[in-house]
Amino acid sequence: MTHASELPTDFSPRAICETCWRPEVVCYCRFVTKLETKTRVLILQHPREQKVPINTARIAALCLKDSELHVGVHWRDLKALEDPERPAALLYPGPGAIDVEQHPPSGPITLIVVDGTWWQAKKLVRQNPELAALPRYAFRPPSPSDYRIRKEPQDDYVSTIEALVHVLSVLEKDRERFLAMLVPFRAMVDAQLSFVGKNSRPRHVRKNKRGPVDPRSRLPNELTTRAHDIVCVHAEANAWPYNTHQRKENPDELVHWVACRPSTGEVFDEIIKPQTELAPSTTRHTEVDEAAFARGITREEFVAKWQRFSRPDDIFCSWGTYSLTLFVKAGGALPKIRIDLRRSAREFLKAPVGTMSAFRAHFGMEQPESRARARSGRRIAELVAIVNFLATPPPL
């Protein structure tokens, strides 16, 4: 235990904002825009999540006028579940969940959102039969979460506020208006990452007298010593929404594979014909139309073409491992050395990272010119830009 006499003489408690409950130095209230909605939003928060200073449910509650934030474990007397004009539905993936983009409700609803870790959310739904019995809506996020200060269990999981932005945009057919909710969210994330970067040690702990450590020393040696062997790779999938019977019958499959050698600028860009039924959101997500998929090459042709492009000493660089999983399922052979660039970026920052776009923005890197077709072309260009940034020492 620390006694008062042991605290630094200049110690003083941090001033806390009474609205957002964040320290005043990182208060995000000035970024909050109040929004009217036809949808009634009810956020049910696990008690442990309430104590997390960087939770996003409070931001959502501050942004949405017609919303309620309740903290607890048991919800047997929720009057919102009995509103005949706005019937209740649960935003939660699971068996029987309805794709909100493909089959939105015909009128206003009361949207029930469970806030907490995925383990906490599952427990809340399991322990409350009234919630478990509600109609369920789910969606497939258009991009990975930008919640860089907390690690999501999977790439397609997002924070509470990001989920609400996406679903309300669909329900009320006005995406631009609800994007305003992400402004305080991003302000909170940026402020937290900036604070972590400047204060990587606990408060009141004497700083180490050693000189600064070059963050590039924490990166894989191959990024700098074998630049000519680096191959940036990105895959797009034909993927059905989670917890649908189609997904069980048709697992994710590779339909677009793009690779680039930063040292030479060589690009491999092939669309692979889907072997299973095309998911409704695949064309929108990949930005490749059905006709192009129909003209795609077979998996056998893809493997043969890739063998002609690849070299024995190739080193794969990917953002996460999902692309590599799709590549192997399609018959591709992985090289001996693979670099997860997202993990490398996390080591470089010594802080969580989200999307490639967020990492670029953190360092003021502009969006590079696309190097191939569709969404994959932009993604591979970002990968190359980040590889070049991490591998290039700063000028003396």
Two tokens at 223?
A: 């990024």
pLDDT at 1 over 60: no
The residue-averaged pLDDT of 348-368 equals 85
pLDDT in the model for residue 127 = 87
HSE value, Cβ hemisphere, 13 Å, CA-based, for 317:
33
The residue-averaged pLDDT of 180-195 equals 81
Q: For residue 27, what pLDDT band results from cuts at 50, 70 and 90?
A: confident
Cβ atoms of 62 and 56 closer than 8 Å: no
The residue-averaged pLDDT of 101-124 equals 89
Q: Sort residue 331 into left (φ over 0), alpha (ψ -120 to 50) or beta.
A: left
The residue-averaged pLDDT of 115-125 equals 85
pLDDT tens digits for range 279-327 = 989 999 999 999 999 999 999 999 999 999 999 999 999 999 999 999 9
The residue-averaged pLDDT of 163-179 equals 91
d(CA 283, CA 293): 9
249 or 205, greater pLDDT: 249
pLDDT at 3 over 50: no
Two tokens at 279?
A: 């998911």
Average pLDDT for the chain: 84
d(CA 158, CA 256): 24
The residue-averaged pLDDT of 268-280 equals 95
Two tokens at 145?
A: 């979460």
The closest alpha carbon to 22, from 189, 269, 201, belongs to: 189
Segment among 36-50, 146-160, 178-192, 343-357 with least mean pLDDT = 146-160
* Owner of token pair 């590889």: 387
Q: For residue 5, what pLDDT band results from cuts at 50, 70 and 90?
A: very low
pLDDT in the model for residue 258 = 98
pLDDT at 168 over 50: yes
d(CA 27, CA 312): 52
Q: Is 346 exposed, middle or buried (0-12, 13-18, 19+ CB in 10 A)?
A: middle
